[in-house]
Amino acid sequence: MQKITILIHCEDQKGIIASVTNYIAGIEGNIIYLDQHVDANENVFFMRLECEFSTQNWDLELIKKDFQANLADKFNMSWEIYTQEYKPRMALFISKYDHCLYDLLGRYSAGELPLEIPLIISNHEDLKGVAQRFDIPFHHVPFTKNIKEEGEKQQIALLKEYDINFIVLARYMQIITPKLIELYKNRIINIHHSFLPAFPGAKPYHSAFARGVKIIGATSHYVTEELDEGPIIEQDITRVSHSHSIEDFIVKGRDLERSVLARAVKLHAERKTMVYNNKTVIFS
């Protein structure tokens, strides 16, 4: 059995679902998962399918060509097809915080994430030892205002060298350059330690404490040029009270950051996210 995942989006039109499901049936595929969504305001159709094929005469490139010619052209579809074996290659960008790093590497080592981690980039040397523990190449790329361009150049060279598909900022404390954002559009995932759009920018736990909120949150989103304004992938919250100090907020927040980032990374790697109009469609 060969299993593939298909992602489609296009203008909403009558008969799309019938055409797609007919097409799959026509090439002897069996649909084992189908979810679709119509953005009624924008008139856009989104679909995610998982299909099984008997492996006889299986040829992915042929299927892709056929799919384009006999289905996609008709509806002017944007689409992607992935085989089950395909594991995207992820780079981790880190600074000095290690909790998200330990969490992601632990999950990765425990076999929970369908991806490869061939590269860790940090603007500090501090966490080199953690990377070594998990046998992952670690590269120190200094990055400050003055050496931005040099840093960006090194980052891009490493990403190319290691053939990286997407980037995860695991509490990386630097701004990503517009050029890198453009290169990895909708493929850079950040974790912000607040319930966005509340408390964007620096020191959100301090702001949350000052405001006296009863709930704090964390938000994982794709990085765009507007700081903390990118498409939200996942959010979660936890209760706090007057009895909690800022330090307590930070400790409780670490748990949120960990789990929200891990869920976003998994959703992305499983091809369950689609971005449109600065928002995400997250398939189940």
Min dist CB 270 to a copy of itself, Å, is 11
Phi first, then psi, for residue 99 (nearest 5°) are -70, -45
Binding of residue 255 to a copy of itself (CB under 8 A): yes
Binding of residue 254 to a copy of itself (CB under 8 A): yes
Write down the H helix ranges in 44-169. 60-67, 73-75, 99-109, 128-133, 148-161
Which residue type, as a one-letter code, is found at position 244? H
Euclidean distance between CA atoms 31 and 52, whole angstroms: 7
Beta bridge partners of 92: 120, 168
Scanning 68-76, 146-154, 167-175, 231-239 for contacts with a copy of itself by CB under 8 A, the matching segment is 231-239
Q: Answer whether 183's CB lies under 8 Å from 224's CB.
A: no
Scanning 113-121, 136-144, 176-184, 238-246 for contacts with a copy of itself by CB under 8 A, the matching segment is 238-246
Which one, of 77, 85, 36, 35, lies nearest residue 60 by Cα?
85
The single residue among 8, 92, 181, 213 that binds a copy of itself, judged by CB under 8 A, is 213
Euclidean distance between CA atoms 50 and 79, whole angstroms: 13
**Interface mask toward a copy of itself for 5-44; x: CB under 8 A:** ---------xx-xx--xx-xx----xxx-xxxxxxx----
Beta bridge partners of 44: 11, 39
Instruction: Kindly list the catalytic residues.
Output: 228
Binding of residue 1 to a copy of itself (CB under 8 A): no
Binding residues (CB under 8 A) for a copy of itself: these are 14-15, 17-18, 21-22, 24-25, 30-32, 34-40, 98-99, 102-103, 105-107, 109-110, 112, 130, 133-134, 195-199, 211-215, 217, 231-237, 241-243, 245, 251, 254-255, 259, 278-282, 284
